Amino acid sequence: MVLATHNPHKVEEFQAIVAGTRPDLQVIGYDGPEPVEDGVTFAENALIKARAAAAHTGLPALADDSGICVDVLGGAPGVFSAYWAGHAKDAAANLNLLLDQLSDIRDPHRTAQFVSTIALVVPAGSPGSDAGVEHVVEGIWPGRLATAAAGAGGFGYDPVFVPDGQPADAERTVGEWTAAEKNAESHRSRAFAALAPLLAGL
């Protein structure tokens, strides 16, 4: 399967997640042109990317559109998470801008959630799918934002996201988690859990 991203971190993360359900499936990166992500929802953008990758490669394609949604910002950055500080897609600048915008906001008003929407597009003419197939699933990972970045793991907003459900005296940002810990709990793994039955039927 092709994963519609040029981000090697996402390819590694998806391969690890997929291996838990379908170890026979190899997830490869996408080397084609990037489509214009002009959707206004995660689902719209995920489908745009998956359709483009399936059309370019002829392979079943997965695409993830994800971001962080901050409650006090009305759900922003949301679909603009990767571009929050501009079109350079500078992860450090995005993170620092978000922290700056929330600098005067204290708990319990720093709640947020990572959202992942995964689209699966099986192109027409694929074995067992003459007419083609499209599915969209969603995973939500609730938590809150730390006041400063911590940890060198993960990517994007991971160093400032503190997931719910941790012991109060041992809370860590996702940047301080191991890759295995993140893959077991993340918004992408939650979305993939909903996708797994569909992959099993391929």
Contact predicate 188/42, CB 8 Å: no
Q: Is 158 annotated as a binding residue?
A: yes
Q: Of 161, 112, 136, nearest to 64 (Cα)?
A: 136
Q: Is 188 annotated as a binding residue?
A: yes
Q: Is 56 annotated as a binding residue?
A: no
Q: Is 182 annotated as a binding residue?
A: yes
Q: Is 187 annotated as a binding residue?
A: yes
What residues form DSSP beta bridges with 135?
120
Q: Is 8 annotated as a binding residue?
A: yes
Structure tokens at 86: 């501009």
Q: Reduced to 3 states, what is the DSSP secondary structure of residue 27? A: coil
Q: Is 126 annotated as a binding residue?
A: no
Q: Is 7 annotated as a binding residue?
A: yes
Q: Reduced to 3 states, what is the DSSP secondary structure of residue 169? A: helix
Distance CA 169, CA 146 (A): 15
Structure tokens at 20: 């838990």
Contact predicate 152/201, CB 8 Å: no
Q: Which helix (H) or strand (E) holds 194?
A: helix 187-200
Q: Is 6 annotated as a binding residue?
A: yes
Structure tokens at 25: 């499936």
Q: Is 128 annotated as a binding residue?
A: no
Q: Is 5 annotated as a binding residue?
A: yes
| Residues labelled as active-site residues | 65
Cβ partners under 8 Å of residue 146, min gap 6: 159, 160, 161, 162, 173
Distance CA 162, CA 32 (A): 35
Q: Is 49 annotated as a binding residue?
A: no
Q: Which residues are annotated as a binding site for Mg(2+)?
A: 65
Q: Which residues are annotated as a binding site?
A: 5-10, 65-66, 155-158, 182, 187-188
Q: Which residues are annotated as a binding site for substrate?
A: 5-10, 66, 155-158, 182, 187-188
